[in-house]
Amino acid sequence: MQKRKIALLVMSIIFISLQCSWSVSDSANIAEKDPTYQISTYEMFGYSIRHDDDIVKEYSSDANFSIIHYNEYEFNISINSSLGKFYFQEIEVYGEILAETNYMQKKKYSFRKYEESFFMEIQYYENFIWMHMSFDGDEGGLIKFDSILDDLKVDLTGIHLNTIYLNSDPILEKQKERLTYSKEEFKDILLERQKNSIITTQNCKITSSSSDSQYETEENFVPKSATVTNYALLHETCIPAGFSDFDDIQDTLEGHPSVDECIRSFSPTESDILSEIQYYCKNPILSSNRDLVAYEYVGHGSGTEWEVYTAEWTNEILGEYDIEWNGQITPDEISDLWGVLYDVEACIVLVFCCQGLSDFEMSSAWITDGEAESFCGSDIDLIQGTEDECSVAFWDKMCDTSTYYNGAMHATMDLCDEYYLYTFNTNWYVQGDTWGKL
């Protein structure tokens, strides 16, 4: 296994070196010679999270990105910001229809570059176009940007659109209403999401990269005594930022000796989910020193796929919020995450969604392709409202270092016994190492 990784690492270094020979100026030169070659530039705003001796969250409100399109299927993207300058080329793109009314479609285009951990999506609303990207900025940290566009000048008409929404989905009618957001309403939502979407267990230094930033600056961090190496990552889809029911899980995981830091990510998009998994398991061979040892996905499922919903508060005092469907995570997308730079060896995976283990495709993507240790999930539709207590019961048992019985099998049994509503090996199962431990 180690020899295979080293061989792949050498190949990856050669590939990255060859990539460096291409620059944005090369693209500009081609554009001058070929009028069909398109470069469109747009403003955006976002932030980075860096895990160094401190955790630093830095905002940038004056960034821009360029989509460079020189034939039907090839796209390059250039990013210029105070967080760094980045360039990604030969990005794969595919399209989907997420919702439809009598007069418009909610179209989504996903841009993916797995080997460089770059993920971007463009969604069409009635009054604007929303761009969201999430990628590994190397020393710049985990970087996320949003942009609200009046128009997209790059031609995407040649990209095939798959229709993936369900006509019977009761949320679909609500989603059609949300297509009519104004730009101002949606920007407020995005700003709030950027402030609160990721919560760490360590205090965080928040900075701004421009004087006219819309964000407040705080200096309340406590330096950590050691570099973070092991992460627990909780993806809480269809739950709005600041939702508190899972606080106990974060505290429990942080207290385990194998977990240096627990990251909670609220209402992530597809791009967020894929980029964050890669970012927090980047291979230590490259001295990135990040290892994902615990992972939980909380949300909706439909068998093989995970359904991705984002959520926004409508009345936080009363605990009321709306959710909006933004796509799916498939087993193939998870399998494509792994490689020389990324793996999840020794990771315990808990999937709390309906039919999260109705077949073996998703668990195989983690266990066989990613080499995770244990995958715990259910093959039934789960009862809404049981996710927080059941998840706490699972991670409490996984983190109980005082007993011998703290493997994945017994942790899943405790999850089932929390309400006595589920039965181990009837509703819930463990794939991989049934005795897997943190």
Domain containing residue 356: CATH number = 3.40.50.1460
Categorize the per-residue pLDDT at 172 as very low, low, confident or very high, splitting at 50, 70 and 90.
low
Categorize the per-residue pLDDT at 38 as very low, low, confident or very high, splitting at 50, 70 and 90.
low
Higher pLDDT, 17 or 315: 315
Are residues 339 and 415 located together in one domain of the fold?
yes
Q: What is the DSSP letter of 381?
A: P
Categorize the per-residue pLDDT at 373 as very low, low, confident or very high, splitting at 50, 70 and 90.
very high
Within a domain: residue 373?
yes
Within a domain: residue 21?
no
Are residues 302 and 419 located together in one domain of the fold?
yes
Calculate mean pLDDT across residues 420-426: 88
Residue 3 has pLDDT above 70, yes or no: no
Do the Cβ atoms of 377 and 356 come closer than 8 Å? yes
Are residues 313 and 429 located together in one domain of the fold?
yes
Measured distance CA(245)–CA(82) in Å, rounded: 36
Task: Using the structure block, give the residue that is written with the tokens 């460089």.
Answer: 116
> In degrees rounded to 5, what are phi and psi of residue 116?
-115, 10
Task: Report the domain count for the chain.
Answer: 2
Calculate mean pLDDT across residues 239-250: 74
Are residues 424 and 326 located together in one domain of the fold?
yes
Q: Is residue 294 packed enough to be buried (19+ CB in 10 Å), middle (13-18) or exposed (0-12)? A: buried
pLDDT value of residue 31: 42
Within a domain: residue 322?
yes
Categorize the per-residue pLDDT at 4 as very low, low, confident or very high, splitting at 50, 70 and 90.
very low
pLDDT value of residue 46: 94
pLDDT value of residue 274: 96
pLDDT value of residue 245: 67
Are residues 390 and 293 located together in one domain of the fold?
yes
Calculate mean pLDDT across residues 360-367: 93
Are residues 297 and 362 located together in one domain of the fold?
yes
Q: Comparing 63-67, 193-197, 374-378, which segment has the lowest mean pLDDT?
A: 193-197
Measured distance CA(395)–CA(267) in Å, rounded: 21
CA dihedral 363, 365, 367, 370 (to 10 degrees): -150
Domain limit, last residue, from 173, 204, 235:
173
Within a domain: residue 192?
no
Q: Comparing 26-30, 171-175, 205-209, which segment has the lowest mean pLDDT?
A: 26-30
Ranked by mean pLDDT, the top range of 149-158, 198-207, 421-430 is: 421-430
Within a domain: residue 111?
yes
Within a domain: residue 196?
no
Within a domain: residue 418?
yes
Categorize the per-residue pLDDT at 44 as very low, low, confident or very high, splitting at 50, 70 and 90.
very high
Measured distance CA(377)–CA(228) in Å, rounded: 28
Task: Using the structure block, give the residue that is written with the tokens 């500009």.
Answer: 28
Domain limit, last residue, from 145, 173, 201:
173
Are residues 168 and 249 located together in one domain of the fold?
no
Categorize the per-residue pLDDT at 267 as very low, low, confident or very high, splitting at 50, 70 and 90.
confident
Residue 212 has pLDDT above 70, yes or no: no
Calculate mean pLDDT across residues 248-272: 87
CB neighbourhood size of 417 (10 A): 14
Inter-helix orientation angle 387-398/408-417, to 10°? 150
Residue 374 has pLDDT above 90, yes or no: yes
Are residues 236 and 341 located together in one domain of the fold?
yes
Are residues 150 and 278 located together in one domain of the fold?
no
Inter-helix orientation angle 247-254/387-398, to 10°? 10
* Whole-angstrom Cα Rg for the chain: 21
Calculate mean pLDDT across residues 81-91: 92
Are residues 268 and 417 located together in one domain of the fold?
yes
Are residues 419 and 320 located together in one domain of the fold?
yes
Domain limit, last residue, from 110, 143, 173:
173
Within a domain: residue 152?
yes
Helix locations, 79-212, DSSP H: 172-178, 183-196
Are residues 246 and 150 located together in one domain of the fold?
no
Calculate mean pLDDT across residues 256-261: 86
What residue numbers bound the domain in which 281 lies?
A: 226-438
Residue 393 has pLDDT above 70, yes or no: yes
Mean predicted lDDT score pLDDT of the chain: 79
At 103, is the secondary structure helix, strand, or coil? Answer: coil
Measured distance CA(354)–CA(42) in Å, rounded: 39
234 bridge partner residues: 264, 296
Calculate mean pLDDT across residues 290-300: 90
